Structure 1
Amino acid sequence: SQAVISGFISAAAILIGFSQLKHLLGIKIPQTESFFTTVISIIKESPNLNLVTFGLGIISLALLLYFNRGLGQYLKQKEIQESLIIPITKSGPLILVIGSSILVGLLHLDQLFGVKVIGEIPKGFPPFTIPNFDLNNIQLLGTSALAISFVGFMEAFSVGQFLASKKRKKVEANQELIALGASNITAAFTGGYPITGGLSRSVVNFSSGANTALASIITALFLMLTVLFFTPLFYYLPQTSLAAIILVAVGNLLDFPTLKRLWKYNKLDGITWCSTFIAVLITSVQQGIIIGVLISLILHLARTSKPHIAIVGRVENTEHFRNILRHPVTTSPHILAVRVDESLYFVNTKYLEDYLLKLVTEQKEVEYLLLVCSGINSIDGSALETLQRLIEDLHQMGIEFYLSEVKGPVFDQLEKVGFVDKLGRDRTFLSTDQAIKELSQRVSL
């Protein structure tokens, strides 16, 4: 859901941001996925701050923020063509990488002041290897592999959907799954790590102005050339400058306005957002998104377990039927027309059964119960059994049961299992108006 994705992305952005502070400050902290452990470690190590590293990081942040926000306005004031402004403002990270590398290399900041650099990067591609398809290994790793696949797909799809929504694009889940599967199969023959969509790299790519998959292809080609020929050029690239690039990129992912909107519109969605957000911070990215999905499912079940049920009546001089609590309508004491605004499945059928039996018990004059199905998109097996039991209970009470406005796919399903014939085809109506007219004539006889 949108609440899970937004909460997950916002929390992950904070985790990534705080994980980069050690590079920005020039301190050493243990590797951890816990947000609070990271914060405590940063506070403890803050007295060991490397001032030169921190200064270079602040300058890097200032440069990137200027490119993102101030430079564009300045170029517009100078009447520079719009076609040139975008590539210039998006070139900030590239200029920073080149400039900071040259600065550190010329001034030997890594040797004199302990500024951490990328260092030596191995050249060339990893050797081609055939995975060991031993049955024992498959049994040993199978469960973990399934869990990694599930979490990896959710993470990649969440990141993709979130970034796509910012440009009003759509992400195809099946295509993402195929791409991840193909990538991981290929990686298995080179000894690579499990592949998924990386939030920090995706955001940097997005903030650089990438619009299509061609950007990833170009990036891959440049990486291939770099690994083969140019790795020595990145030796002096300071980690604090890379941290600044990531910090500026993930800052755009904090999606608190969505929380405000969700809380105002539907508090259950707001609770889902907060639960996912907190779970990611307290546990980890992988566990947090699983917890968020589970909470979303639980709240969905809770929300649909008590569907909205309305007694409807005719709006005067029309064919329309509306909720008697919202509109001035006319009803008959002998005909009870009830509309259910939710699909019927095992979670909510007991509630529906109890609700309808309570209504007919309280309204002694009711002879006909009409279930308006305009809001029902599906009926599962448990709901079907409940309806059959309800019909029998109503029959013993001397009340006849009818259906109206059953949607085509639902009607086909009911017809396939013989429910329609058992109920009686004359007890299903295309419209509520037709049903009420027919039943009103029977009442008057």
Structure 2
Amino acid sequence: MTVLESVKKHLKFDCQKFVKKRVPITSWFPQYTLSLLFQDLLAGITVGMTEIPQGIAYAIVAGLPPEFGLYSGLIDGFIYAIFGGCKDLNIGPTSILSLMLQPHVTRMGPDASILMTFLSGIIIFLLGVMHLGFVIQFFSYPIIAGFMCGGSLQIASGQLKSLFGIPGKSDNFLESWKSVFANINQIRKWDTVLGVTSIAALIALREIRVFGSLQNREDWSKRRNFFGKIVFLVSLARNALILVIGTVISYCLYEEAPFKITGNVTGGFPAFQVPPFSTTFNGTNYDFEDLAKGYGISFVFIPLLSILEAVTIAKAFYKGRQLDATQEMLALGLCNIVGSFVGSMPVTGSFTRSAVNNASGVRTTLAGVFTSLLLFLAIAFLTPTFYYVPKATLGSIIICAMFYLFDFEAFVLLWRTKKLDLIPFLTTFICCLFLGVDYGILIGAAVNLLFVLYASARPKFNIEKEKISSDQTEVYIITPKDTLYFPAAEYLRDTVLEFEGGDVTVIINGKYIRNMDITVAKSMSVLTHELTLKNHKVYFLDFKQSVVNICIGVDKKLKDHFLSEESYKSIIKDQSDLIVTSEISQL
């Protein structure tokens, strides 16, 4: 084999490996069968029946016309089927992103939503290309739980006016409740009856799932297995079922007008066009700079939360298998970028629909294609019927979804395990409710960072005090339990300088110190100098060579203070029979 042939062979192999890694459909589609197709078709249709009512509802939460929620699912299924790696993950609109989008849509109009989708996609895709997905690790569990609880409560509160059929604004938590109490005399009886009944029905239909199963069970008769499948499918499609029943009732009673209805929904497919980089809304012109400034910190948080939701959900369904988070980010970025060309709002992984996907027996990501095709059919043929959808029904669907999104166990879990984590949790939760989700996340993350910095500035030390009877020398062996960073520099210095007495030898054991910054190294140099002036001896034991090099680079005189194992034994071990006291304390 010639050199050229060898190079060609390796290039071909590398290209094939790259394509299979970055276009996952190429690895499994050649083995695709009719059996898999049937299972994916069933799962895709079931998820689609959930996404139609949720898409309409979440568009309303975002302050957008209802059709935008349907547009948001048109392309995602096709894109994710090709580039996605998690068969269970469903990409589409979600309640949290809708809530974050709502103030910008209210102020700058629907075009602001489309541009945000495009920009989010670009940011997510670039973060994936640069393998920067680790940034989402800065959102700890207390922050995420507080955000989810605050966001879900705010969204549910915003739907009270739809549930009761009353007028008023619902842009934030306080405003929603003020509207309820200010207009309590205008509560519409039949809207309330329909809304409350729908909530009860949704909860009941969700709970009956335990009496059904998609898989045949050996302990069940053939008839029970048959009805079990029906019960399970009805439970999965409960949102669509309630939406259809509510719409039929509204249509039949249209002349009496007992309910407030959604009204006109623009029919037809959206034009495939470049996202708007400028817009006019309520007589105000916004260029790209105005729009970008108007997004504020949402410009950063929406893409980050999109990544967080999608990757977290994908990991949950991967069940121990290795997830390629970079590939998920690339796929999610493409879904948003391409989706923005058809008027999509920002999309990410939906836990509710992903759970439905998993429960429906999905086998591959091709199920998303069938979900998107169902949305195509809904836009093509069902748009006129959306006119009659009662707002109370949509409100009940959203409120139920938020009820199950609210993390009731978070408070108990944090109280039982680490009460200190309740502070960032409650800070995020309260700020999300009263200041908005953007500032809630920002303030919660800042508070959480303070806890991290405090822990870094106050590391744990193991201090062993020994006294040698031959010369009454006191030896303090200080062992930091973790790597030391600059916030801990002064604390280490102050801790050591507290040791008083005549002849004192201080040994700092660095066996747990994996790295060190220059601030700590300079502090160790100053510490050595100050102890020497007090006629104390100071040594450094068991430091990694990379750390030793940093310290010597700061102060060459420190070289003489680093002990070898033999030198340490000559100071302590060989005189162990002379030690008369030995104390160990934790600091």
TM-score per shorter chain, which class? 0.7 to 0.9
| Alpha-carbon offset, residue 6 of structure 1 | 0.5
Quickly say closer, same or farther: Cα 1:141–1:218, change in 2 above 3 A. same
| Alpha-carbon offset, residue 418 of structure 1 | 4.3
Return the letter of the residue paired with 2:257: L
The yes-or-no answer on 1:153 pairing with 2:153 is: no
Quickly say closer, same or farther: Cα 1:292–1:245, change in 2 above 3 A. same
The yes-or-no answer on 1:54 pairing with 2:183 is: no
| Alpha-carbon offset, residue 11 of structure 1 | 0.9
Choose which of 101, 111, 116 in structure 1 pairs with 2:247. 101
Choose which of 159, 171, 191 in structure 2 pairs with 1:32. 171
Choose which of 434, 440, 462 in structure 2 pairs with 1:310. 462
Return the letter of the residue paired with 1:64: L
Greater displacement, 66-75 / 298-307: 66-75
The yes-or-no answer on 1:126 pairing with 2:271 is: yes
Alignment of 1:71-82 (within 5 A): 72-73=210-211, 80-81=224-225
Aligned to 2:236: 90
The yes-or-no answer on 1:63 pairing with 2:201 is: yes
- For the Cα contact (< 8 Å) 1:129–1:191, is it kept in 2? no
Return the letter of the residue paired with 1:335: V
Instruction: Kindly tell me the number of residue pairs found equivalent between the two proteins.
Output: 411
Cα distance between partner residues in 2 of 1:165 and 1:226: 31
Select the structure with the greater relative contact order (CA < 8 A; seq sep ≥ 6). 2
Cα distance between partner residues in 2 of 1:123 and 1:276: 41
- For the Cα contact (< 8 Å) 2:211–2:231, is it kept in 1? no
Greater displacement, 87-96 / 50-59: 87-96
Quickly say closer, same or farther: Cα 1:132–1:240, change in 2 above 3 A. closer
Cα distance between partner residues in 2 of 1:70 and 1:187: 36
Choose which of 412, 415, 428 in structure 1 pairs with 2:546. 412
Cα distance between partner residues in 2 of 1:237 and 1:138: 36
Aligned to 1:343: 483
Quickly say closer, same or farther: Cα 1:356–1:174, change in 2 above 3 A. farther
> What is the aligned-residue RMSD (CA, Å)?
3.7
Choose which of 516, 522, 529 in structure 2 pairs with 1:379. 516
Cα distance between partner residues in 2 of 1:178 and 1:387: 45
- For the Cα contact (< 8 Å) 2:202–2:400, is it kept in 1? yes
Choose which of 198, 201, 205 in structure 1 pairs with 2:353. 205
Choose which of 389, 406, 416 in structure 1 pairs with 2:526. 389
Quickly say closer, same or farther: Cα 1:143–1:107, change in 2 above 3 A. closer
Q: Residue 347 of structure 1: SS of its match in structure 2?
A: helix
Choose which of 143, 151, 159 in structure 2 pairs with 1:12. 151
Deviations 1:68-103 (A, max 9, x none): 114534889986336665434212122212222222
Structure 1: which 5+ residue stretches go unaligned? 315-331
Cα distance between partner residues in 1 of 2:567 and 2:149: 51
Return the letter of the residue paired with 1:124: F
Greater displacement, 140-149 / 295-304: 140-149
Identity %: 22
Q: Residue 311 of structure 1: SS of its match in structure 2?
A: strand
| Alpha-carbon offset, residue 144 of structure 1 | 5.0
Quickly say closer, same or farther: Cα 1:393–1:84, change in 2 above 3 A. farther
- For the Cα contact (< 8 Å) 2:465–2:475, is it kept in 1? no
Deviations 1:201-244 (A, max 9, x none): x3542563557766655433322332234322333222222222
Quickly say closer, same or farther: Cα 1:390–1:196, change in 2 above 3 A. farther
| Alpha-carbon offset, residue 178 of structure 1 | 3.7
The yes-or-no answer on 1:116 pairing with 2:256 is: no
Cα distance between partner residues in 2 of 1:208 and 1:227: 22
Return the letter of the residue paired with 1:358: E
Return the letter of the residue paired with 1:8: F
Structure 2: which 5+ residue stretches go unaligned? 1-139, 279-285, 467-471, 579-587
- For the Cα contact (< 8 Å) 1:276–1:291, is it kept in 2? yes
TM-score, normalised with respect to structure 2 = 0.61
Quickly say closer, same or farther: Cα 1:268–1:162, change in 2 above 3 A. farther
Return the letter of the residue paired with 1:147: I
Aligned to 1:355: 495
Cα distance between partner residues in 2 of 1:187 and 1:54: 36
Quickly say closer, same or farther: Cα 1:188–1:437, change in 2 above 3 A. same
Choose which of 536, 556, 569 in structure 2 pairs with 1:437. 569
Choose which of 122, 138, 141 in structure 2 pairs with 1:2. 141
- For the Cα contact (< 8 Å) 1:310–1:339, is it kept in 2? yes
Quickly say closer, same or farther: Cα 1:257–1:130, change in 2 above 3 A. closer
| Alpha-carbon offset, residue 47 of structure 1 | 1.7
- For the Cα contact (< 8 Å) 2:164–2:192, is it kept in 1? yes
Aligned to 1:427: 562
- For the Cα contact (< 8 Å) 1:26–1:116, is it kept in 2? no
Cα distance between partner residues in 2 of 1:302 and 1:443: 39
TM-score, normalised with respect to structure 1 = 0.78
The yes-or-no answer on 1:366 pairing with 2:501 is: no
The yes-or-no answer on 1:233 pairing with 2:385 is: yes
Quickly say closer, same or farther: Cα 1:142–1:114, change in 2 above 3 A. closer
Deviations 1:20-45 (A, max 9, x none): 22211111221412x11211111212
Greater displacement, 117-126 / 59-68: 117-126
